[in-house]
Structure 1
Amino acid sequence: MPTPVILWVRQDLRLRDQPALVAAAHEASVIPVYILDDDAPGTWRIGAAQRWYLHQALDAFAASLKDKGSRLILRQGDGVTVLKALMKDTGATRIHAIRHYEPWWRKAEEALGDALCLHDGNYLAPVEDITTGAGTQYKVYSSFWKALAEQMPPGDPLPVPHTIPAPEQWPASDTLADWKLLPTQPDWSTGFDIWDAGEDAAHRAVDRFARIADDYDGDRNLPSIEGTARLSPHLHFGEISPRDIWRTIDGRGQGVQTFRKELAWRDFTAGVIVELPDYADANGRPRFDQLRWRSSKSDLTAWQQGRTGYPIVDAGMRQLWTTGWIHNRVRMIVASFLVKHLLIDWREGEKWFWDCLVDADYGNNSVNWQWVAGTGVDSNMFSRIMAPLSQSERFDAAGYIRAFVPELRDVPDAAIHDPEEAGCKPNAYPAKIIGHREARERALAAVKNV
């Protein structure tokens, strides 16, 4: 029997359109391995909400492998060290894996050297293929999209291998329960039951979204209706590939085109962190290092807990805590509120999202926060300050507010966006932490130093 090969899975927990798996299965018997590596990412080890989802995703992926006569080996520790030990123990001389772009994974891939065979498959196109004339990564999305669109549509997804050859002997494995990924004392994940993890669930979610995709351009901004795709956790953990989604969400309407541009945003943010690997920690525009952020633990806590006195902001932050996810339009509103109304460093919000989001992605999270903050290489201007009260009314958020802020359930639609101004604020609901006009003036004064 030829020596086995190792399939190193990370954020690519699927059998369909999995080029590393296909290559490994054609070469020899396959040992699929997932390593819980909290060492290499350092401060960016996966957060609590991601751990909850990871438990479900690994459980589903292991079941899929079992149906094919294979199994998933679980190990914990530094990824490079664990893989080298597995190679020694099993006699494997080659590792197949899908390429990743987070800085810690790039370092790990380099350290594994010639033993590692990398495949592209987590993005619409290989990130290295979409570059400027100078050979660098794009820092402006509009230019990036134009270049990427010339290479679209992506190729057809690879089918699931008919068989996954098993080795004569399996190496030892941790059990999923050993990792204690699920919260227990207390169990704050009771609202996470809205998520159904796994590859089959991902395809069902895409099929559901395909039926409403034509209306996506308008409905995605309305938090009170189910107008968004809700595919981000499946994409982040690689339970479905972006090109599989592109091919399934077919059509030429504006809704489909808008969605495809947002799907392409993932590719763009991967390019940004390749060019600027410390983007999660450093301003994309260094002149913003001069901005004097406020350090207010009480204000930060009020924002985290959804107790700011701005209903749309509070609903978003409570949705985040309750479900591990937050509506796309509301993400921008709550982020802008933290950075500009409260004048608190965007990195504080980025860290909170990293811990609370089931879909927290290094590239997306850092680029999106810097876009809102105005500190990024391609970002909104800092002086453009979202008005949460008018945003709430404009995008008809009454039902959304009632769903997550029970203190306001009996407030009529006409007043629910700003019950304090309407004179009907319930005693149980906090007063505004700061007035909109006051906050705007303070933010504009602060940015004058930049």
Structure 2
Amino acid sequence: MTKQKITFFWFKRDLRLDDNIGLFHALQSNFPVIPLFIFDEDILDHLPKNDARVSFIYDSLEKINEQLSAIDSSILIKKGKTAEVWKSLLTEFDIQKVFFNKDYEPYAIKRDQEIDALLQQNNIESLSYKDHVIFEEKEITKSDGLPYTVYTPYKNKWLEKYHLSGTVQEYDTKPHFLNFAKNQFQFPKLSETGFERSTIKVFPYNLTQIANYKETRDFPALDSTSYLSPHLRFGTVSIRKLINWANGKNQTFLSELIWREFFIQILFNFPKVVDHNFKSAYDGIQWRNNEDDFKRWCSGTTGYPMVDAGMRQLNETGYMHNRVRMVVASFLCKHLLINWQWGEAYFAEKLLDFELASNVGNWQWAAGTGCDAAPYFRVFNPEIQQKKFDEKGIYIRKWIPEFDLGYNGPMIDHAFARDRAIAAYKAGIVR
């Protein structure tokens, strides 16, 4: 029997049917479209079996499958090494074209290049699209063509280019849904992926608070942020819709979305930042890297309430308020003189919204070793941060129930730690 000629659309970090560029083009490819998601063992093998992000991915795929079921279609779910999965698909289907959206992390770039080469070897057209950002790779550059390494001029150029186009085009896929292949693939149970349901949940995003974002975003007790970040990370929401919505409504919120693109283009243009300081002048810092100190930081038992509340929120929910992230990161690098890479790895394990570019970028910002970073002599005082942003201790008491019952004092004196950090940085600077 002759196999039906088909097109594949490969979902990765774009888990939605609506306003999905690669999918939009796939559905106009003249062949029925099979949507595909691969649980990549090269990534999954490093995660705990109850990882909340895998549960969120699974639930997002299930929603997609329910939408497809309404039109007698379904999503094909595979698990394995990505290249091996594609080799198997090549024998199973008569694939004419493969569409997907770009990813800008080093592992993903290498993986996608390998799959592209495999498809070319089999005379299959591979088409990739920009979907995860508004401006990618080298679209926002200085006049000499080099990438920006300072945020504010990058942001200004980004806004200039955005406003020249008016709004960003959105892609309505729904009129083309009849071009999905008619099939009913078996949707697996979560346990079939090798994972179990996490008790930690990803909250729905909420844009109703954004009107007062500038005034309220620094106060963790108000819980006034959008919870958008995991949805952006896994693409359950379109960045184009968000940017078009935010423009003109709240410039502070828009600036945060631009920060995300700034760090993504830094990672793309300077991939060394994954495990090296952006500013190599700081490579000579002698970190203490005391494991007992690190454990106290991880468990939220440093004796500094703002730090401990943040770490406990992270450990229990996978979230941490952005202002508090700056405080806990500064404390680890400056007060305890522990390499930012330790903190970055811990956040990567725990954060629901973990995105390599932003995680590395923000940790190096806090450590003072990254692009456009806080100066090394800027050392957050956790007690002053608490007085400024949680004066009544509402946030702290939520996450430290024993706070009023006699809370342990600080594990290290702030003034001592600050002086020690500045001395270590000064001595470590390579001139």
TM over 0.5: yes
Are 1:57 and 2:60 an aligned pair? Answer: yes
- The SS at the match of 1:278 is helix
Q: Is the 8 A contact 2:272 2:278 kept in 1?
A: no
Instruction: Number of aligned residue pairs: give it.
Output: 413
In 1, the alpha carbon distance for the partners of 2:104 and 2:44 equals: 12
Q: C-alpha offsets along residues 263-284 of structure 1, whole Å, 9 cap, x if unaligned? A: 0111111111111223121111
Unaligned runs of 5+ in 2: none
Are 1:22 and 2:24 an aligned pair? Answer: yes
CA RMSD of aligned residues (A): 2.3
Aligned counterpart for 1:176 among listed residues 168, 190, 195: 190
Q: C-alpha offsets along residues 410-433 of structure 1, whole Å, 9 cap, x if unaligned? A: x4xxxxxxxxxxxxxx34x33211
Percent of residue pairs identical: 32
Alignment-mate amino acid for residue 225 of structure 2: T
- The SS at the match of 1:31 is strand
In 2, the alpha carbon distance for the partners of 1:61 and 1:244 equals: 19
Aligned counterpart for 1:238 among listed residues 203, 219, 235: 235
Q: Is the 8 A contact 1:73 1:174 kept in 2?
A: no
In 2, the alpha carbon distance for the partners of 1:42 and 1:378 equals: 34
Q: Show the counterpart of 1:271.
A: 265
Are 1:90 and 2:100 an aligned pair? Answer: no
- The SS at the match of 1:290 is coil
Are 1:161 and 2:174 an aligned pair? Answer: yes
Q: Is the 8 A contact 2:26 2:33 kept in 1?
A: yes
Are 1:407 and 2:420 an aligned pair? Answer: no
In 2, the alpha carbon distance for the partners of 1:41 and 1:384 equals: 38
Q: Is the 8 A contact 2:49 2:194 kept in 1?
A: no
Q: Show the counterpart of 1:317.
A: 311
- The SS at the match of 1:235 is helix
Question: Aligned ranges for residues 18-417 of structure 1 at < 5 Å?
Answer: 18-27=20-29, 28-39=31-42, 48-111=51-114, 112-113=116-117, 114=120, 115-152=125-162, 153-162=166-175, 163-167=177-181, 174-182=188-196, 189-190=198-199, 192-193=200-201, 195-196=202-203, 201=204, 205=205, 208-209=206-207, 211-252=208-249, 256-396=250-390, 398-408=393-403, 411=404
In 2, the alpha carbon distance for the partners of 1:80 and 1:135 equals: 35
In 1, the alpha carbon distance for the partners of 2:332 and 2:55 equals: 26
Q: CA deviation at 1:19?
A: 1.0
Distance 1:351 1:44, change over 3 A: farther
Q: CA deviation at 1:141?
A: 1.1
Unaligned runs of 5+ in 1: 184-188, 412-425
Q: Is the 8 A contact 2:282 2:369 kept in 1?
A: yes
Alignment-mate amino acid for residue 110 of structure 1: Q
Q: Is the 8 A contact 2:137 2:269 kept in 1?
A: no
Q: CA deviation at 1:77?
A: 2.2
Q: C-alpha offsets along residues 98-143 of structure 1, whole Å, 9 cap, x if unaligned? A: 1110111111222214532001111122333212233332211112
Return the TM-score normalized by structure 1: 0.86
- The SS at the match of 1:4 is strand
Alignment-mate amino acid for residue 156 of structure 1: Q
Q: Is the 8 A contact 1:38 1:45 kept in 2?
A: no
Alignment-mate amino acid for residue 136 of structure 2: P
In 2, the alpha carbon distance for the partners of 1:344 and 1:139 equals: 25
Return the TM-score normalized by structure 2: 0.89
Alignment-mate amino acid for residue 146 of structure 2: T
